[in-house]
Amino acid sequence: MSFNRKVVILRIGHRLSRDKRISTHVGLVARAFGAEKIVFSGVVESSVIETIKRVVETWGGPFDVDVVANPLTFMKKCKEKGMKIVHLTMYGENIQLSGIIDRIISDNTDILIVVGAEKVPGEVYKIADYNVAIGNQPHSEVAALAVFLDRLFNGRELVKEFTNAKYKIIPCKRGKKVVRVGVTDES
Amino acid sequence: MSFNRKVVILRIGHRLSRDKRISTHVGLVARAFGAEKIVFSGVVESSVIETIKRVVETWGGPFDVDVVANPLTFMKKCKEKGMKIVHLTMYGENIQLSGIIDRIISDNTDILIVVGAEKVPGEVYKIADYNVAIGNQPHSEVAALAVFLDRLFNGRELVKEFTNAKYKIIPCKRGKKVVRVGVTDES
């Protein structure tokens, strides 16, 4: 397991206005926890995409944002390319009990992680190679994505170095320490 | 480490309307990841509290929701009772590098976890015993809380049994399986 494995997030079922901040958090978690791209399906406020892009400009990347019209078509295309599809759902196999994370890691393929809002079409459960529950209780797609990626990358994502960051945090016991960094792109 | 340790979440800096769904997700994560109570400071929409209470009624507890006027006074009171204060912040000590989770676990005290929105008063950093970063990148307080509790309870929170649940999910590979359960309170 390493960051050589490509992880893409597909956010489906975004509801205009209501899900604006949750979808933004899903995008920021995707970047901060080691994914390389988030894809929204359907119609999403431009402010969601702009906020994520602004974070990439300020804190570094690489990290991409995209929008697709049809999530099921996108899932099928990813599958044809050899990616495995992981659908995060409270109804799925419990990550703590089922050994499912070891199976996903040993697949050693690129991964598409599908993160839904309240209603998810039944077909998503069928197309997915794995339906994974981060516990079988209702909580949050933001939390589910973070814990899944933390288990997948085994904590290494939390010390990932981003490139072309304008700012960097120096961890400290009290208060805030932020430093301005040079542009590190050598091109 | 076990669930014998009491964990309370303090959500500060909630902004009306804007943070409605994020604060709801913080509350649901608190319950699903093994905390026993969430406390909001200041003014919060009743719908946030009602949604969390409805989840407790449907999926079980025990889990409490409360509101306090002054978060700093509440933090100080918790400290006087012997609780340790953990403040989750991207500026803090990195959970992956600092060994901070082992120190918190070996304290073996009850814990108050403080989860902020965008602006957090400087005093919070000072009153906190630990300022912990779930990585030093911007992402989401929902994600930070989930990953912190997952590390604190070492995954056991994801198989926690809740009492007085009306419904229970039977994990499965495809689709949804939900069963109605009897009221288990023996009183």
**pTM of the full structure:** 0.96
DSSP letter for B11, please: E
> What pLDDT score was predicted for residue A136?
98
Please give the biggest Cα pair distance in chain A: 49
Given an 8 Å threshold on Cβ–Cβ distance, is A177 in contact with B96?
A: no
Task: Calculate the CA A151 to chain-centre distance.
Answer: 13
Chunked into runs of 10 residues, chain A (187 residues) has average pLDDT values of 82 94 98 98 95 98 97 97 98 96 96 93 97 98 98 96 96 96 58
Residue B1 pLDDT > 50: no
Which of B29, B136, B156 lies nearest to residue A169, judging by beta carbons?
Answer: B136
Which whole-number Å values give the CA distances from A158 to A118, A172, B81, B117, B134, in the listed order? 28, 15, 33, 20, 7
Given an 8 Å threshold on Cβ–Cβ distance, is B171 in contact with A97?
A: yes
Per residue in B118-174, pLDDT (tens digit) is 789 999 999 999 999 999 999 999 999 999 999 999 999 999 999 999 999 999 999
Minimum CA–CA partner of B150 in chain A? A147
Given an 8 Å threshold on Cβ–Cβ distance, is B139 in contact with A91?
A: no
Q: In terms of DSSP bridges, do strands B37-41 and B64-68 run parallel, antiparallel, or are they unpaired? A: parallel
Taking contacts as CB-CB distances below 8 angstroms, the residues of chain B near A92 are 171-173
Taking contacts as CB-CB distances below 8 angstroms, the residues of chain A near B145 are 143
Amino acid, single-letter form, for residue A23? S
Task: Tell me the ipTM for this assembly.
Answer: 0.95
Q: Give every strand in the sheet of A7-11, ordered side by side.
A: A64-68, A37-41, A7-11, A111-115, A84-94, A130-133
Of all residues in chain B, the percent with pLDDT exceeding 70 is: 96
> What pLDDT score was predicted for residue A186?
47
> What pLDDT score was predicted for residue B11?
97
> What pLDDT score was predicted for residue A1?
45
> What pLDDT score was predicted for residue B118?
77
> What pLDDT score was predicted for residue A2?
56
Bridge partners of B180, per DSSP, are: B167
Q: Confidence class of residue B117 from pLDDT cuts 50, 70 and 90?
A: confident
Q: In terms of DSSP bridges, do strands A111-115 and A7-11 run parallel, antiparallel, or are they unpaired? A: parallel
Residue A94: its H or E element: strand A84-94
Given an 8 Å threshold on Cβ–Cβ distance, is B135 in contact with A29?
A: no
User: Are the beta carbons of A168 and A179 closer than 8 angstroms?
Assistant: yes
What are the φ and ψ backbone dihedral angles of B108, each rounded to 5 degrees? Answer: 55, 40
> What pLDDT score was predicted for residue A187?
44
Helices B100-107 and B141-153 cross at an angle (nearest 10°) of 60
Bridge partners of A7, per DSSP, are: A111
Q: In terms of DSSP bridges, do strands B7-11 and B111-115 run parallel, antiparallel, or are they unpaired? A: parallel
Minimum CA–CA partner of B23 in chain A? A22
Residue B10: its H or E element: strand B7-11
Q: Confidence class of residue B2 from pLDDT cuts 50, 70 and 90?
A: low
Given an 8 Å threshold on Cβ–Cβ distance, is B32 in contact with A125?
A: no
> What pLDDT score was predicted for residue B4?
75
Per residue in B42-52, pLDDT (tens digit) is 999 999 999 99
Per residue in B50-105, pLDDT (tens digit) is 999 999 999 999 999 999 999 999 999 999 999 999 999 999 999 999 999 999 99
